């Protein structure tokens, strides 16, 4: 397989995952602005921050304001990371790697693009927003399903999977990075724990509210939320789960190519952090520091994968 193709598959699935994640965040912000209008502004600010787009937004639109932010994240042509831009990026990469995709996967991506191009050709009205967000998640899921159901489990599949989980872990980590302070044990001591709107944002932004409740019998506790999103191997959006998948798929590549590279060592090291540490150890080390380290090292892993598998010259 061409190095370019490996890179195209990696990015195609990263873009799709990111589009879906952005949709989740809009969903979370929307929910809060409907239920707790007093907290809405700061939550929108946090959401913008976790997408890494605060500066772009501020330079274009100034003050954070719900409807503007939604349009900015959905379709603003000046936002290179809008959902529409992500979908366009995914499709462009899909065209580049067309020969590595099954017809099902290509058609699912292409249709996703065509549907969203139409839906997002104009600002989305408030009453249509939940439906549009649902379609975005659904279309992205269709692509995942087509991949799951039709692609041979070889290197092509592995690079796509690595892209998906790389982006997902990155996203979960960024949300945690924005909100780590409300998950610190000290917060409980301060006694503000009763107002769990911010916990709610975290869970909603990762679409894990229901999963959390099922596994924790409704008890909301910051330590449990942190453990859930970082270490819980049952949750498909946790860091531990995502990295297990990355390690696994890199392992398949090592087997297929009969070669281990530096990226394997980096991935093993990252995975090790979730296997050997419990939540107390992480808090002791510092939650913020732990997540910062993770974001730094995972970015390095991403660069190393590109080098080891020759995505570009």
Residue 107 touches another protein, criterion: CB under 8 A: yes
Of the candidates 111, 221, 268, 293, which one interacts with another protein according to CB under 8 A?
111
Residue 10 touches another protein, criterion: CB under 8 A: no
**Under a CB-based contact definition with an 8 Å cutoff, are residues 260 and 270 in contact?**
no
Rounded CA-CA distance 242/161 in Å is 10
Exposed, middle or buried: residue 25 (CB in 10 Å: 0-12, 13-18, 19+)? buried
Residue 68 touches another protein, criterion: CB under 8 A: no
| Nearer residue to another protein within complex by CB, 57 or 309 | 309
Residue 274 touches another protein, criterion: CB under 8 A: no
DSSP secondary structure of 277-288: --HHHHHHH-HH
79-35-179 Cα angle (round to 5): 60
| Nearer residue to another protein within complex by CB, 181 or 257 | 257
Residue 260 touches another protein, criterion: CB under 8 A: no
Site string for another protein, 154-193 (x = CB under 8 A): -x--------------------------------------
**Under a CB-based contact definition with an 8 Å cutoff, are residues 177 and 50 in contact?**
yes
We find the least distance from the C-beta atom of residue 215 to another protein, in angstroms, to be 38
Interface with another protein in residues 121-160 (CB under 8 A): 155
| Nearer residue to another protein within complex by CB, 243 or 309 | 309
| Nearer residue to another protein within complex by CB, 11 or 212 | 11
Residue 3 touches another protein, criterion: CB under 8 A: yes
Alpha helices in 36-120, H assignment, sequence order: 37-51, 54-61, 66-74, 83-96, 103-119
Rounded CA-CA distance 221/223 in Å is 6
**Under a CB-based contact definition with an 8 Å cutoff, are residues 79 and 26 in contact?**
no
Count of residues that interact with another protein, criterion CB under 8 A: 24
Of the candidates 36, 98, 137, 288, which one interacts with another protein according to CB under 8 A?
98
218 membership: H or E segment, kind and range: none
Rounded CA-CA distance 164/236 in Å is 11
Interface with another protein in residues 227-256 (CB under 8 A): 253
We find the least distance from the C-beta atom of residue 145 to another protein, in angstroms, to be 16
We find the least distance from the C-beta atom of residue 5 to another protein, in angstroms, to be 8
Rounded CA-CA distance 172/84 in Å is 21
We find the least distance from the C-beta atom of residue 103 to another protein, in angstroms, to be 8
| Nearer residue to another protein within complex by CB, 145 or 233 | 145
Q: What six digits make up the tokens of 159?
A: 């690079």
Site string for another protein, 292-311 (x = CB under 8 A): -----------------xx-
The count of residues in the chain is 313
Nearest to 251 by CA among 190, 162, 311, 180: 162
DSSP secondary structure of 84-98: HHHHHHHHHHHHHTG
| Nearer residue to another protein within complex by CB, 60 or 114 | 114
| Residues engaged in binding another protein (CB under 8 A) | 1-6, 92, 95-96, 98-99, 103, 106-107, 110-111, 114, 155, 253, 257, 259, 309-310, 313
């Amino acid at each position: 397989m061409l190095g370019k193709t490996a890179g195209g598959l990696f990015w195609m699935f990263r873009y799709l995952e990111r589009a879906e994640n952005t949709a989740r965040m809009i969903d979370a912000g929307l929910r809060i602005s409907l239920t707790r209008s007093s907290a809405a502004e700061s939550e929108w600010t946090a959401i913008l921050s976790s997408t890494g787009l605060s500066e772009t937004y501020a330079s274009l639109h100034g003050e954070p304001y719900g409807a503007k932010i939604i349009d900015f994240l959905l379709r603003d042509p000046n936002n290179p990371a809008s959902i529409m831009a992500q979908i366009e990026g995914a499709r462009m990469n899909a065209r580049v790697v067309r020969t590595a995709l099954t017809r099902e996967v290509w058609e699912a991506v292409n249709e996703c693009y065509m549907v969203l191009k139409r839906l997002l050709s104009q600002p989305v009205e408030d009453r249509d927003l939940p439906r549009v967000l649902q379609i975005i998640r659904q279309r992205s899921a269709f692509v995942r399903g087509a991949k799951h159901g039709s692609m041979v489990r070889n290197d092509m599949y592995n690079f796509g999977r690595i892209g998906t989980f790389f982006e997902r872990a990155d996203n979960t980590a960024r949300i945690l990075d924005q909100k780590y302070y409300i998950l610190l044990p000290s917060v409980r001591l301060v006694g503000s724990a009763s107002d769990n709107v911010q916990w709610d944002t975290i869970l909603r932004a990762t679409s894990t509210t229901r999963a959390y409740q099922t596994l924790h019998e409704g008890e909301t506790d910051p330590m449990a939320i942190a453990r859930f999103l970082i270490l819980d191997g049952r949750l498909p959006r946790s860091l531990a789960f995502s990295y297990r998948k990355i390690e696994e798929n890199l392992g398949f590549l090592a087997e297929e190519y009969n070669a281990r590279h530096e990226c394997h060592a980096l991935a093993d090291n990252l995975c090790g952090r979730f296997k050997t540490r419990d939540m107390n150890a992480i808090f002791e080390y510092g939650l913020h520091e732990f997540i910062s380290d993770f974001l730094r090292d995972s970015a390095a892993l991403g660069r190393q994968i590109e080098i080891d598998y020759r995505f570009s010259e």
